[in-house]
Chains A and B, each alone.
Chain A
Amino acid sequence: MAAKKKPLDVKPATLGAGGGALEILALTPPPERKEGKIVGAGPAAVPELVRLLREEAKVL
């Protein structure tokens, strides 16, 4: 209860050098990755995966 008797001193916050120079304009979720696909199960799906990486994603 002693805390209730303590004086509460309200002071304005001051910004230091360069303070306030960064302004937040927006906070947005990152773009959703487009739905991926399961190419298949087991090693049999590998040739199809490689084909997709070459022809669709063009990363190989």
Chain B
Amino acid sequence: MSHVLAVLEQRDGALRKVSYEVVTGARRLADALGGRVDALILASGAVKGTEQVGRYGADNVITLTNPAFALYAPEGYARTIAERIKSGSYGAVVFAASATGKDLAPRVAARLGRPLAQDVVDLAVENGAVTVIRPVYAGKALLKLKVAGTPALLSLRPNVFTPVERPKAGTQESGAAAGPAGRVVVKAIKAAEAGTLDVAEAPIIVSGGRGLKEPANFKVLEELAAAFAGRAAVGASRAVVDAGWRPHADQVGQTGKTVSPTLYVAVGISGAIQHLAGMRTSKVIVAINKDKDAPIFKVADYGIVGDLFEVVPKLTEEIKKLHG
């Protein structure tokens, strides 16, 4: 019998959305392995939403608290998780491939001397071994890997696994995580701008590129994003981030964030391969560009050829009508 450990993420005492995706992925593995899903949360106190985790298939929710764990503490987190893994018979451990998870999962893997499959987009169990699919070469190819031995360590790309409700009468367990936070600690997390959605988590992204001509023109995109009633974030291509028009936190692409929203609207973005690497897994892509030969139209589901300064305000108006 091998169980699956899902490592969840919290911020400010509330679970992050990606946590439910991790539980869903862990549930799929546990069903195939015939084991139980343990969801692990590290925090400095009680975390809101832990009772929700059972709805997505966690059998047991474990909250380990340490006064130093309010924010991510690389060494303390890694040590606590590695100890937990060693104390149970886990066939697999599932992390989120979020900014935190991409730092944390390799540390845990190193402590256990186990390989890690990072940024997984699909998973299965074949002949008792965990197999995963992860994109390589900036999304140009998919690699199918078999993880021999246990535990199989993997991290799931955010926004790829849709949380599926699989209610379980989950039990809750809490305890203290002993030990120091470690030599490196996060002192503060500065939100880029209050009230705006993180592009990595937003269900709708409106992205702008050099076609906007100057920073002030991003106003038309912000208006379009606002029309989606709080569900949309504004992203940017590398060109405009390098030019200092937009903060780096908004950059979508190989050197920025990898996103896969339900709807991605690329405005004035030509579609360089490095940009596509960050958004090609979006469910629906809309491109608005004045150059009908722009490569972005090759990946777009719907395109409009035209002047964005005429098309976008019209689109904003139409979306407002829908939500009006």
Of residues 273 through 301 on chain B, the ones whose CB sits less than 8 Å from some CB of chain A are 280, 283-287, 292, 297-301
Contacts of B136 in A (CB 8 A): 27
Distance in angstroms from B228 CB to nearest chain A CB is: 9
**CB <8 Å contact, B146 and A30:** no
Q: Once the chains are docked, how many angstroms separate the CA of A37 from the CA of B314? A: 20
Which of A17, A22, A29, A43 lies in contact with B314, CB distance below 8 A? Answer: A43
Bound form: Cα–Cα A25–B143 in Å: 8
> Which residue from B301, B307, B314, B322 sits with its C-beta under 8 Å from A46?
B314
How many A-B residue pairs lie within 8 Å, measured between CB atoms?
Answer: 124
How far apart sit A43 and B310, CA to CA, in the bound complex (Å)?
Answer: 6
Question: Chain A nearest CB: distance from B301 CB in Å?
Answer: 5
A33 touches B280 (CB 8 A): yes
Query: Which among B114, B280, B298, B304 is the interface contact of A21 at CB below 8 angstroms?
Result: B114
Chain B residues with Cβ below 8 Å from A17 are 113
Assess whether A27 is in contact with B141, with CB atoms less than 8 Å apart: yes
- Given contacts A29-B140, A59-B263, whether A22 and B319 have CB atoms under 8 Å apart is no
B interface, by DSSP: helix, strand, loop or mixed? Answer: mixed
Beta-carbon contact of A36 and B306 below 8 Å: no
Q: Is the CB of A18 within 8 A of B280?
A: no
With A18-B114, A22-B115 already in contact, the answer to whether A39 and B302 are too (CB < 8 A) is yes
- A-chain residues with CB within 8 Å of residue B284 when the two chains form the complex: 53, 57, 59
Taking CB atoms, residues of chain B closer than 8 Å to A29 are 140-142
Q: A17-B113, A46-B314, A54-B322 are in contact. Are A26 and B144 (CB under 8 A)?
A: yes
* Size class of the contact patch on chain A: 20 to 34
User: For A43, what are the chain B residues with a Cβ–Cβ distance below 8 Å?
Assistant: 306, 310-311, 313-314
Q: Which of A28, A37, A40, A59 contacts B262 (CB 8 A)?
A: A59
Please report the C-alpha to C-alpha distance between residue A57 and residue B160 in the assembled complex, in whole angstroms. 18
Nearest-CB distance from A28 to chain B (Å)?
Answer: 5
B96 within 8 A of A: no
Given A46-B304, A59-B262: A21 and B147 interface contact (C-beta under 8 Å): yes
How long is the Cα–Cα vector from A59 to B265 in the complex, in angstroms? 12
> Is A55 positioned at the interface, with any CB of B under 8 Å from its CB?
no
Q: A27-B142, A60-B319 are in contact. Are A36 and B304 (CB under 8 A)?
A: no
The complex places the Cα of A38 from the Cα of B302 at a distance, in Å, of 6
A23 contacts the other chain (CB 8 A): yes
Residue with the greatest number of chain B CB neighbours at <10 A, chosen from A20, A29, A37, A60: A60
Among B139-172, those with CB < 8 Å from A are 139-149
Interface pairs A-B: 7 shortest CB-CB:
A17-B113, A43-B314, A42-B306, A26-B144, A46-B314, A25-B144, A23-B146
Besides the known contacts A24-B143, A40-B304, 20 further A-B residue pairs in the complex with CB atoms under 8 A apart:
A23-B148, A24-B144, A27-B141, A27-B143, A29-B140, A30-B135, A30-B280, A36-B298, A36-B301, A39-B302, A42-B307, A43-B311, A46-B304, A46-B314, A46-B315, A47-B318, A50-B318, A50-B322, A57-B263, A59-B284
